[in-house]
Amino acid sequence: AQSVAQPEDQVNVAEGNPLTVKCTYSVSGNPYLFWYVQYPNRGLQFLLKYITGDNLVKGSYGFEAEFNKSQTSFHLKKPSALVSDSALYFCAVRDISGSGTYKYIFGTGTRLKVLA
Amino acid sequence: NAGVTQTPKFQVLKTGQSMTLQCAQDMNHEYMSWYRQDPGMGLRLIHYSVGAGITDQGEVPNGYNVSRSTTEDFPLRLLSAAPSQTSVYFCASSYSGQGGVVPQYFGPGTRLLVL
């Protein structure tokens, strides 16, 4: 079964410092990976995705993610954190098992807190 | 485009009551899904649809029904609400293309409290 894990419930970082939010995955076949962000009382918003190609994927709001096949990881990164980046971040993988072509499996989420 | 809309934003039910959570999208997306979000559990798929007239169960379908009579609408029905269904519910839509590896567009959510 395909799955994603976000090992940290919360990540704290000082404004201006680089941030990393971790995600590891387990899939059969090629991984199709996504990051979403959720601000308070809002739905999830798409940040970026990895299908194939370059291991460093760039997305919205200055975020990027590094795909590492040997470590089965897809960590979200940003060179300089902003207070406004404080939110809940979800990693997701597309489930390609069975007939669930458009089913997605989400991690449990990581709360990012950027301190001024 | 309004995107994905959900109503109501908040609802309180008593155990045993029924209700329908509404979801609509104006992007002509074929695929629509319902998720519930619970603390420490992430998002879990309840039901999904790959087009009008076609629905299927997700990870946690018990206690919920869906139908898809039009491309735009995908209501979620709770037949007999239970306290375990207290959660935040999100509807999402997406489209075919890019080999199916496309992002989902989420609605703002419905917060449900079952007493």
pLDDT at B86 over 90: yes
CB contact at 8 A, B42 and B110: no
Structure confidence at residue A97 (pLDDT): 60
Structure confidence at residue B39 (pLDDT): 85
Chain B: nearest CA to A69, how far in angstroms?
Answer: 18
Tell me the pLDDT of chain B averaged across its residues.
93
- Residue range B43-57: average pLDDT? 92
| Residues of chain A under the 50 pLDDT cut | none
Enumerate the residues of chain B whose CB falls inside 8 A of the CB of residue A103: 33, 45, 48, 58
| DSSP per-residue letters across B5-71 | EEE-SEEEE-TT--EEEEEEESS--SEEEEEEEETTTEEEEEEEEEETTEEEE-SS-TTEEE--SSS
A79-88 pLDDT, tens digit each: 999 999 999 9
Structure confidence at residue B10 (pLDDT): 96
**Residue pairs between chains A and B whose CB atoms are closer than 8 Å:** 61
pLDDT at B11 over 60: yes
Nearest in space to B91 (alpha carbons), one of B105, B80, B102:
B105
Structure confidence at residue B33 (pLDDT): 94
What pairing do the DSSP bridges indicate for beta strands B10-13 and B54-57? unpaired
